[in-house]
Structure formats: structure tokens, C-alpha cells
A and B are shown apart, each in its own frame.
Chain A
Amino acid sequence: MITINVNGHQQTLDVPPDMPLLWVLRDVLDLTGTKFGCGSNLCGACTVHKDGKAVRSCQVSIGDAAGANITTIEGLGAAGEHPVQAAWIKEQVPACGYCQSGQIMNAAAFLAANPDPEDEEIVRAMEGNLCRCSQYVRIQKAIKTAAETMKTGGAATNG
């Protein structure tokens, strides 16, 4: 039995300890907002927060996540009210949308650590998140919009 906290809920799970967190979230806990893209730390679609830091959930075994606080897109701001989510709507970022949970989770953790980023820092932070629809111009713009909102009081609650 492995215990983790997902989006504020304590979960005790009977799963093999080497099962990736990604598949636990998707197939066991039905949190399908976290997406499978490459399984090899190459695309960022499965990004979640582990104790506040962005991790690729395909690379973290559930055994290694035991005892951790995990935040998924469903827990970032369920109504889409997190400043990063709000900025994603304002700038009309998603196209197909499949990579966007990972993009948003990566951006939210990045902004929590670096609230006033330079353009190059944004690019460096987001380089591992592939968007096949190439909505990169909008992602960059939305991260700046979110940073602006968070500076002026729209505080982010970052799991």
C-alpha cells in the first residue's frame, strides 16, 4: 500500500511501486487531465507538481512519490481560476489542447519560483514542453500575462 496526497486528498493505493505516477493518475485515480505524450521525458505533456516542483509524471514511480503532495491540472484551479489558467484563456492559447495541461503545470511552477521572468528564461523553462500545434507565441505571451496578474495581487496558489 502506497499513500500519496493528490490535489489535497490523501490516497492509499494498492499498485506496484514501479508503476509510473502518470498511469496511477490516469488509470487508477481517473485524473485524465494529465496526458501521456512520449513516456520518455521528451515532451512534457504529463507534467504535474510534486511538492510544488514541476516533474514529468511518466518518469516518477508511484513508489518514489509515496508521501508526496501531488498537484495535477484538476487541482491547480478547478474552475480554471489560477492566474496561469486565466491567462491561457485570455490569450486563447490552446489549439488541440492536448499538451496544455503540461504546459500550464510547467508554467505555474516556473512562475512560482521566478515571478518576474525575462523572455529568455521563459523559453529555457518551457523548452521541454512540446506543442505540436506550435502555439508557442501564445504560450509565451500568456506566461507574461500571468506574471503580470500575479504581481498585481492575483496570487497563485501553487501546490
Chain B
Amino acid sequence: MGNQFEAPALGRRGFIASVLATGAVGFGWGVMPGAGRPALAASNASFSPVNLIEIGADGIVTVNVTKSEMGQHVGTAFAQIVCEELEAPWGAMRIKHVDSDPQWGLMVTGGSWSINWTFDALSRAGAAGRTSLIAAAAKTWGVAADTLSASEGKVSGGGKSISFSELVASGAVSGAWTADDLKKLTLKKPASYKIIGKSVQALDIPLKVNGTAKYGIDFKLAGMLYGKIILPPTRNGATAKSVDDSAAKAIPGFVKALSLKDPSGSFTGLVVSVAETYWAAMRGAALVKVDWDAGPNAKVDDAALAAEAKRLQADPSEGATWVREGDAGAALAKAGKVITAEYTTGLNLHAPMEPTNATAEFKDGVWHLHGGNQFQTMSVPLVAKALEVDPSKVVLHQYWLGGGFGRRLLGDYFIPAALATKALGRPVKVVYSRTDDMRLDCARSPSWQKLSGAVADGKVAALTHDVACGWPTNNVAPALLGDDLDKKNKVDVFAINGADVWYTFPNHHVRLLDNKLAEATVPPGYLRSVAPGFTVWALESFVDELAHAANVDPVAFRLAHLDGAGKNDVGAQRLAAVLRQAVARSGYSSKKLPEGTAFGVAISQGQERAAATFTACVAEVTVNKKTGKFGINKLTVVYDVGTAISPDGVISQMESATLWGLSLALYETTTIRDGAIVAANFDGYTPTRMSQVPPMDMSYIATGVFPTGTGEPATTVVAPAIGNAIAMASGARVRALPITPAHVKAAMA
């Protein structure tokens, strides 16, 4: 993985940015924020070495945060990184979450990429600021810059000292930093960090305990109207034949029901009840009569999607090749005993606590959309397409996000507000009810995975892994599809990441199959932990099945395959280290467990090899063999984060990602019936609540190498660790998520 101490090659970021910048969506977004952009003109009010930061004459340092804030405290981490190199006092740091603008380059918040992708640029922005401030002081005093140093917001040397604010106010600070200049700066070594590695209080938290934090749903304009969507009978493909709002006119404040055409194709049938208040819009919506054509998916259910997945898996001509090591097919044909298993996950919803919503306003020829968003680079052109205007005429205004989890990577929820505003000539705020939010979700597609393997001499001799699912990138950003190994087929890396493991398998074949029926029925999106949320579930469960077949302890079996050979160098060793730490902390090797209680382990790279966060989980589980009921005694999770910006921030994200993983493992799923998502609220879709939280032990390794992401990795390992523990404790191998006592009981029979 190259030099672990330096910024990774542009990789995925470069690919996404280059595709989106070169006309695929017709919008000029660059790769890097800040670098190479002209600095703002120097003045005595503020100094901005690059557009990511601004140093005021009052000494306040504002960091322009290009990532969305949805619980990660990413802005605080940004401020710490800048503060470190700038040598500003921590109390001077402020964060500003910026609106969409091409000057910010690629704007996407997901994939646990944020810190990994920006650490270098932010460090250099801070270092550039410090260098310019020192140069200004040197010039003012007529001394050489290398005789001066900066600390705590002051430049000092030769017995003199001047504050950053005085320097800026004097107008002496200047310097336009080009990308090449920035590259030449020498950054600090971890040993001299002062603020990186400190658990500072997150800058967004005070606002979130006194009610003043403004989320998208809290935005209000004088004279705006409120809209409530009227749900079509199917998730996708329905059209409104006629709309009758005469009965709704009796509701005071009701304006009208709009039947809207969406040129972006995000909505095939879109009917919005509009009123002077949201309450009136809701009451009106209940009285509007819509004659719907339910469309082509009206008969589709889970069984139909599963049948399509099986058809694809049975056809060797289908699919894209993602991994090919050796010849797995030939090796399996020669093997004495081939083990085959099928793993599934159900339909999973984002259901952020802040239901999807947006407000639109048309002012001076520009469309202003208000609402939290995770992927401005794609959402702007999507909204522009719906409005039939040039993307340069659309601005997305950013707010705190009441949860993202990938839901707000797709900007479809801006469209009802935008089209209603266009139709009425007045600003409209459309708030999805919880049922609208669930039933119009870009849900994570169900997945169907088939694995076959053979063991010899205590190791894996061959493994094939077929993954079938709806591809989220086909729905959200088709331009970002990649090529498969043979350059013959398109591949959605966000439907297959995680299947490309750091284990050394002599014969390994991974194939990705595109379930188009799943995509047509419920156009899928990215859900927290993305593909590894299901690929790791199947793979790490099946690795245990192979370990049992080889009669080797599951930990020893994994370590034997983490030899770091060839392309697995460095990563395999880091993965082995987190596994060893999780084993040690959980008592896996030392603790005597009663009958019916066992440990299960699972490991993963987090999201993708190029930005890997090495992760291990040990679950200790007790199973009642009569009833199938089980309890989670403890979850031990270990990350390797390279460098922790805020230790408490890392632990917070680990707790959150672990419990999201637990929720997907045990509690969350819904189904598709008659082309519609069945769940309607938090009684039918049931995420983890406080009583379901098991004891947890969170720790991480930080050796000072380049930082990696923390928001998702743990999500990938919880389900397989629990499934493996259940199998170890009871012999019941469960292969479908979520795992229920009934599944466990059935698997024992």
C-alpha cells in the first residue's frame, strides 16, 4: 500500500473527481479543494492562504468544511488538523460548513473517506498560513524568516513577538499558494503534534444540546408554503392518471395538490399536497384522491428478486469479474470436498432521524435549495436536470444533517420542493413524513451471495464468491461505474468492495452480478458501510465454515492466511495486528466459557483497499439450544486508524458503527410487497434501542501512519462475528440477516 506515512495516491477520489469533472455530468469540479486556487485578495481584514482557511484580523481562524456534518464531528477534526500546522490557539478555531460551489472541488461525504482524503490538504493549508504569517513578521522586523517560529497564535524570535491578529490587521500578510508551493511544504512529524491526538470537545456539540443547531428541516422563509408528498402505490414506476383535490379544499390553509413531471426521472409519479402550514398539507394529503397506475413493478416481491438473483448466479456468462487469483474453478473441480453456502441480507433502510426534506427558492435567476446533503457534486446536476436549468444556476445550502448514513448521498429529495416551487412561483418546503421517508428510500438492495470453497492442509485451496444485488451506483452516479478485470463489463465497486480480501488465497474468484429487477423495483442507494456491509457478512462467515472444515481454530486459520504476500503486504500485517489485539482484549484464548457460550471473530478492511481501516471484532454470545434465543455478552472491536485526530471522536464513531452493525445483524429489515416497501414507521422497521446495547470494548491502534476513516468499518464485522459465535456455541450456522432466535432454532434442527 505504498508509503503509509504519506497521503495516498488519488485513487478513488481521483477517479470520481476526474469522471465528474470531464463532462460525464457536465460540471467543472476539480479533485482537490484549496490547492492551486487563487487566494482571496490580501487585506487587513483577513488572510486566506488557500480557500480552505481564513485568518481574521481578530485572530479567529475559520475552516471551510467541505464535508457534511452528520455525527462524525468531521469539522472539529478539520479544525484540529489545520490548527496543528498553523500553530493557532485551539480557542481561535471556528468551522463553517460551506454551500455547494465548484471552488471546493469534489464534494462528497461517504466511504469513511473524509479524513483520509483531506488530511494532507488541510495540513498544508495550515502550514501555508503559518509560513505566510512568519514571512510577514520577518519582513516587518527585517530579519530572516528562519530565525522565527510560530506557536499559540504568535510569531516570535529574537526577543520579539507579534500575534497573528496584529499581523493580519497590519495588512502585511500575503501569499498566493499554488499547488506546487503547497507540495513543497514540510509537515510535522507525529511526535511533535500538540492538538492532533487530543480529545477536544466537538465544536458542534454545544449547539446540539440547547436546540439552536439548525438542520435542513428547520429552515424557514417568509411566505413559504409547505408540501407533503402523497405516496404512490409502488416505490418506482407508478404514474398519477388524475388528481382530485376538491375534498381537501375544505381544510383551512390548503392550497392545492400538484401533479409534477420530473425530467430527472427520479420520480415517475409525483403528487404533492401544498398548504400554508405543514399540518394543513398533511390533512389535505389525506383527502386528495389520486388515480394511480401502479406501473410495471406492481407485482414484484422479495421472491421475484431472489429468483432473478438465482438465475444470474446460475448463468456463467453473466457478471463482472472483480478478483481472479489462480484458477478457482479448476481447483474446486479437483477438490475432494466442496463446501457451498448461500448468504443473504434483506432490504435495509436509512431512516435518518431527520426525515428527508428540502426547501426551494428561486431568486435572481438562481435556484437555492436548502437541506443537508452528502454528495453536492452529484446532487446539483440532478436537481438542475429536474428543473431543466444549467447546473451553474443551482446552489445547495448546507445545514447540520440529522443523520446521513448514505441517504443524503442521493439528492432526489430536493426535487419535490424544487418542482413545487417552480410550479407555484413561491418557495415551498417539502417534508417527508416518516412513512414517506421509509417508502421512498433509496434502500440498500437485498443481497444474494453464493460461496464455494475447499480446504487442503489446513488452508483454503480455492474460493469462489458470487455476489448478486441491485447496484447503487447505477441509480446514484452511473458515470462512476468502473471496469471489471477483463475490461469487458462494468462493475459497481460499491456493490462488491470487501470481497477483495487481504488473505492470501491461491485460487480466488469473485464475480458481481447486477440484479436489474431489484434496481427497477427499489432504486438502491449507498447505506452506511456500503458493500462490505454484506460482502464481509458472507465472506467472514464462510471463512469460519472453511476453518471448521479444515479443523483449525478460526483465529489461527485467519492468521495463517494473513501472510502479507505480494499485494497483501503491509495490509495483511496490520489486519493481523488488530485481530490479535481483539483476541487479547476479549479473552478469546484465556477465558473459560460455559456450555452454550462461545466467541466468534470477524475482520475487514473497512470500506476499500485503497483507504483501508483494518478492523476486527470478537463477539461473545450465549445461545439457548432449546429455544434458539441468544444474548450478546460482549462485543470487542479494534481499529487501526493510523493516526487518531481526536481519540474520543474515534471511540464515539466506533460505538456508533458497531451498534449500526448490531442493528443490521439482529434488528433491521423490511420486505417488498406489490412493488412497495412494506415498513411504514419505527414499529415496522426497528433499529437498536438502549436496552439492546451489549457491553462493548472499543480500542484502536494508532502508530502514526496516515489517518483512515472511522465511521463505517465496525459496521462490517459485527454480524459475521455474532453468526460465527452462534455457530460455535450451538452448531447453528445462520446465513440470513437479520439473525433471529427462530433462524437459530431452525438452523439447529
Interface residues, chain A, with chain B CB atoms under 8 Å away = 16, 19-20, 23, 26-28, 30-40, 42-43, 45, 72-74, 76-80, 85, 88-89, 92-101, 104, 122-124, 126-127, 129-140
Contacts and interface: CB of A to CB of B under 8 A. Distances in A.
A31 B353 contact: no
Interface in B190-212: 201-202, 204-212
A138 B353 contact: no
Given A97-B205, A132-B352, A34 B211 contact: yes
For this complex, into which size category does the number of interface residues on chain B fall? 35 or more
Contacts of B214: 32
Contact of A88 (B209, B355, B404): B209
A97 B213 contact: yes
B169 to A, nearest CB: 31
Given A72-B211, A97-B208, A134-B656, A40 B683 contact: yes
A137 B683 contact: no
| SS class, residues of chain B in contact with chain A | loop
B693 A97 contact: no
B277 interface: yes
Most buried by B among A19, A30, A76, A131: A131
Interface stretch (B179-187, B574-582, B684-692): B684-692
Given A43-B682, A74-B211, A132-B351, A16 B204 contact: no
Contact of A42 (B72, B352, B405, B682): B682
- Residue in A33, A42, A85, A133 whose Cβ sees the most chain B Cβ within 10 Å: A133
A100 B648 CA distance: 19
Contacts of B226: 27
B733 to A, nearest CB: 27
A39 B434 contact: yes
Given A96-B400, A100-B209, A131-B353, A38 B681 contact: yes
Interface in B348-384: 351-355
A35 B205 CA distance: 16
Shortest beta-carbon contacts, A-B, top 6: A33-B211, A98-B402, A97-B208, A95-B71, A134-B659, A73-B211
Contact of A95 (B431, B652, B689): B652
Nearest to A38: B434
B261 to A, nearest CB: 29
Contact of A96 (B353, B434, B660): B353
A135 B652 contact: yes
Nearest to A43: B682
B691 A123 contact: yes
B384 to A, nearest CB: 28
Nearest to A135: B656
Given A20-B279, A27-B278, A89-B201, A97 B690 contact: no
27 contacts: A19-B279, A27-B278, A35-B215, A35-B353, A39-B433, A40-B434, A42-B434, A43-B434, A78-B210, A79-B210, A80-B210, A88-B209, A89-B206, A94-B209, A96-B400, A96-B401, A96-B404, A98-B353, A123-B691, A130-B353, A132-B351, A134-B659, A134-B660, A134-B693, A135-B655, A136-B688, A136-B690
Which of B205, B214, B400 has most chain A Cβ within 10 Å? B205
Given A36-B217, A101-B211, A95 B683 contact: no
A123 B694 CA distance: 12
A37 B209 contact: no
Interface string B293-305: 0000000000000
A38 B648 CA distance: 30
A23 B279 contact: yes
Given A100-B208, A136-B689, 10 more contacts: A32-B214, A36-B431, A42-B683, A92-B201, A95-B71, A98-B352, A99-B353, A124-B691, A132-B405, A137-B696
B30 interface: no
Given A27-B277, A98-B354, A99-B353, A32 B210 contact: no
Contacts of B696: 137
Nearest to B663: A134
A95 B209 contact: no
A33 B214 CA distance: 8
Contacts of B252: 16
Interface of B: 69-73, 201-202, 204-215, 217-218, 220, 226, 252, 277-279, 351-355, 400-405, 431, 433-434, 648, 652, 655-656, 658-660, 663, 681-683, 687-691, 693, 696
Contact of B209 (A19, A38, A89, A132): A89
Contacts, number: 175
Contact of A137 (B434, B648, B693): B693
A85 B659 CA distance: 24
Interface of A, secondary structure class, is loop
A74 to B, nearest CB: 5
Contacts of A127: 689-691
Given A74-B211, A132-B352, A133-B656, A94 B205 contact: yes
Contacts of A134: 655-656, 658-660, 663, 687-688, 693
B51 to A, nearest CB: 27
Contacts of B690: 122-123, 126-127, 129, 136, 139-140
Contact of A97 (B201, B400, B405): B400
A43 B278 CA distance: 20
Contacts of A101: 211
B404 to A, nearest CB: 8
Contacts of B351: 132
B342 to A, nearest CB: 30
A35 B284 CA distance: 22
